[in-house]
Amino acid sequence: MADRAASRVGRGLAALVRWGVAGLACAVLSACTLSALDSAPSHPSEPWTPSGDATAAGASPPEAPEAAAQGPSAPSAQAAPVRDFAVPPDPAVATLKPAPAIARDRAYGLPELIDLAQTQNPQTRVAWQQARQAALATGMIEATFLPYISANVIGGYQKISQPLPVSVGSVNQLSTSIDGISPQIALQWLVFDFGERNALAVAARHNADAANVLFNGLHQKIIFDVTRTYFLYGAARSRVGLAEQNLANSRKIEDAADARMQKGLGTTVEVAQARQQVAQARFGLVQAQGGERDAYQALLGALGVSPMTELKVKVANGRRLPESVGAPTEKMISAALTQRPDVLAAFSALKATQSGITAAEAAFMPKVFLGAVAATGNTSLSATGLPTIGQQSSASGVMVGATMPLFDGGLRAAQLKNAESLAAATEATYEKAKDAAAREIVVSANTLRSALASYRAATALADAAALTYDAALDAYRTGVGTITVATAADSGLLTARQAQADAHAASLVAAANLAFVLGAMTSREAPSALMAR
């Protein structure tokens, strides 16, 4: 009895030691988990520094050798620590997107630039992958209509040892071991679910339709963005040309002032005014050239190519503009809504959410399933001192059943309410998209009419300003006019011609925008066809 009690006490102590070791291991692992906080910033006001960095956050930089050689300096006020929030550089992200193959001796017009954007802009690849993902989601849901067949292998080994009440010779315990392996083929098939999977498949198809429509819509937007930035770049180049012409006109006034000065008819004030006008014109030219470079980068951004790309752009200035455009009719707006990608995508999203309501309602109904299994087994049993016994067996079976949840804590009811709420919100979004599209069409048409009126007014102003400049310059040369009038006419001519160029570009952009909101900016030829009307 004493031996048995001592044995029990020993086993208890051994179990206690094992539990203690396990608890200590858990505590160590928890401490390791919390130590991960050391890799985060230490304080909201302190910079983050990567682990292993020699300079810790808030630490003072090492003293420069020159300062150390000079010895201690006079005492000064305590300076606040310098917080450097720079991040360590990573050479892996230093590679820029390579520039596309550009023919250096070729001038690219608008259709060629649109082609370049549709092949190079990364937004097209993103939208393409999103459309593919939506299509794959449809296929994954349709796969649930088919049975699921799996191959399984189950193997195991078990050994049991227990002491014998009475020793048999040198054997004082009995050991029994069993091992086996069972390959199986199982089939699971949801046969009937009252239309839940079909509703989910319909919703997935509507989402795929929306993704496809948005893919085409993105290409329409890229066409419009390239067209808009192309026209704005042309306007910027026109401003450079006008600035150069203004500089030449200012130099004519300067030459006239110098000639009058040499003849003793002018004054130093007139010469100074003329030179000031030349300097002002030169300053305007520099600003116009800077605007041209900015417009060029905006065009490259619309193309989606590297900012280091160098290409020649063939700007088609002097496009004829229509005299006027009519107000959009209800028929025109209705026709535009039928082909607007954003409206069509919102409509597909609405139908998808309505199918989601059907799927949520079907979750309240029972489900009928079919199961089947075919298995074989190979087991062996061995005991101490006995021959090993092997056995092979096989089994197969088919099962048909139905399941219906009786209580889920209101989960399905909440899911149905959520589906209905989502459908209502999507319907409101769809109505908002239609209203916004109609408003965009009306506003775009009004903008185009205003731009055309501005261009006609600016053209008349530019013609009048040109006559005024020529007359003022001739009058000053012949001594019947003043340099003040001549320089004022020069400045007025520049202002009028810039206004004319800006109004012309604004009319082109407004016409392109109207075509875009009408859903007509669909190909590389659309801008050219629009301008040819």
* Amino acid at position 481, single letter: G
Q: What is the pLDDT of residue 53?
A: 54
Is residue 233 within 8 Å of 298, Cβ to Cβ? yes
CB atoms under 10 Å from CB of 364, counted, come to: 15
Q: What is the dihedral of CA 328, 334, 337, 338, to 10 degrees?
A: -140
Q: How far is CA 351 from CA 207, 335, 378, 419, 453, in A?
A: 9, 21, 55, 12, 44
Q: What is the pLDDT of residue 27?
A: 67
Q: What is the pLDDT of residue 366?
A: 92
Please give the Cα distance from 115 to 524 (Å, whole number). Answer: 7
Q: What is the pLDDT of residue 179?
A: 81
CA atoms within 13 A on the CB side of 392: 1
Q: What is the pLDDT of residue 420?
A: 95
Q: State the pTM of this model.
A: 0.81
Please give the Cα distance from 211 to 348 (Å, whole number). Answer: 9
3-state secondary structure of 108: strand
Please give the Cα distance from 514 to 322 (Å, whole number). Answer: 14
Helix (H) or strand (E) holding 396: strand 389-403
Nearest CA-CA partner of 251 in 54, 447, 490: 490
- Partners of residue 189 on adjacent β-strands: 370
How big is the CA angle at 208 (ends 202 and 210), to the nearest 5 degrees?
Answer: 105
Please give the Cα distance from 507 to 324 (Å, whole number). Answer: 11
Strand ranges for 101-223 from DSSP E: 107-108, 148-168, 171-192
Q: What is the pLDDT of residue 171?
A: 66
Q: What is the pLDDT of residue 12?
A: 58
Q: What is the pLDDT of residue 57?
A: 43
Q: What is the pLDDT of residue 274?
A: 87
Q: What is the mean pLDDT of each run of 10 residues along the chain (533 residues)?
A: 50 63 67 75 85 51 46 55 84 77 84 92 94 96 93 86 72 77 90 93 96 96 95 93 91 88 83 90 94 95 90 80 76 91 95 95 92 83 67 82 89 94 96 95 92 92 92 86 87 91 91 92 80 57
Q: What is the dihedral of CA 384, 389, 392, 397, to 10 degrees?
A: -60
What's CA 159's distance to the chain center, in Å? 59
